[in-house]
Amino acid sequence: MDLQLVGKRVLVTGASKGIGLAIVRAFQEEGAIVTATARSVTPELKATGAAFVSADLSTVDGPQRMVEAVLAGDSRLDVLVNNAGGGVVPDEAFGDPLDGGDGTWAAGFDLNLHAAVRTIRAALPSLVEARGAVVNISSDSARRPGAEPMPYSVAKAALNAFTRQLAERVAPSGVRVNAISPSATRTNLVTGKDGYIAQVADKAGVDHGTLVASLPKHNGMLTETLIDPSEIARTVLLLASPTMPSVIGANWLVDAGATKVV
């Protein structure tokens, strides 16, 4: 299937590893021109040959300055993928019913909601000119209360609401806005020795590998296996493709059936 992405100019945030890196590779395989952004470049991202702009999108002016740098040489932008997210959970947040104080909540919202809002605000004129597409990477934890940190899950729920409302506002200008909600995916957040699940394992006194293996079933995933980032990337390609003009304001679940609603 020709997704008509050849030559499209694409910006992917949070692209240094995991889902973001898989998205960069997937667009390149379709012939798109990709710019990747993250706090720092990894060897894996550098190997893709994608243009890179360093940015901290959790700051107030980080998204604006990043978009200006990306568009400095060419103001055209066809696709924006807001993948930056996650965050650090301080030790004192464990055992707290609210999963942290004001600083933790503010940091969670800055990275998982405000970064996307600010990046879209800065990029919107170019997206309107191109009649382009926005894909926001959310999480199934926004709908499925579970073990994820509450600030993260609530920020992702807000991102879902923002995605749907923005889709209504900008659709008349030709810009399509959609979201994807993955469940447990094979990323550093889950499998890394410095990731959140490793923190949980340490606090609970259980083996990290054992906890990772049990996570899909615990989440209610019917495949009982972690999702590969490349599957999320393929979904992004579909939502970004001009061949899907009627998909507007959608939130596609890639969660192996973890979200138990009709």
pLDDT tens digits, 1-52: 899 999 999 999 999 999 999 999 999 999 999 999 999 999 999 999 999 9
Q: Catalytic: 196?
A: no
Within a domain: 101: yes
How sure is the predictor about 114, in pLDDT bands with cuts at 50, 70 and 90? very high
Question: Which domain range does residue 170 map to?
Answer: 9-186+229-249
CA neighbor of 58 nearest in space, from 124, 121, 10, 108: 108
Q: How far is CA 207 from CA 17, 200, 202, 212, in A?
A: 24, 10, 8, 9
Q: Which of 16, 141, 152, 241 is catalytic?
A: 152
CB proximity list for 5: less than 8 A, separation 6 or greater: 27, 30, 31, 32, 79, 237, 240, 241, 242
Q: Catalytic: 152?
A: yes
Residue 88 has pLDDT above 90, yes or no: no
Q: What is the pLDDT of residues 205-246, one digit of tens each?
A: 999 999 999 999 999 999 989 999 999 999 999 999 999 999
Position 11 scores a pLDDT of 98
Within a domain: 116: yes
Within a domain: 196: no
How sure is the predictor about 138, in pLDDT bands with cuts at 50, 70 and 90? very high
Within a domain: 236: yes
Position 261 scores a pLDDT of 86
Residue 148 has pLDDT above 90, yes or no: no
Within a domain: 170: yes
Position 147 scores a pLDDT of 67
Position 93 scores a pLDDT of 85
Within a domain: 216: no
How sure is the predictor about 247, in pLDDT bands with cuts at 50, 70 and 90? very high
Residue 71 has pLDDT above 90, yes or no: yes
Q: What CATH number should be reported for the domain holding residue 173?
A: 3.40.50.720
How sure is the predictor about 122, in pLDDT bands with cuts at 50, 70 and 90? very high
Q: Which of 16, 138, 141, 153 is catalytic?
A: 138
Q: What is the pLDDT of residues 168-210, one digit of tens each?
A: 999 999 999 999 999 999 998 899 988 889 998 898 899 999 9
**Number of separate domains in the chain:** 1
Whole-number Å distance between alpha carbons of 30 and 5? 6
Within a domain: 256: no
Position 189 scores a pLDDT of 87
Position 200 scores a pLDDT of 87
CA neighbor of 164 nearest in space, from 176, 173, 174, 152: 176
Q: Greater confidence, 254 or 92?
A: 254
Position 145 scores a pLDDT of 81
**Mean predicted lDDT score pLDDT of the chain:** 95
Within a domain: 255: no
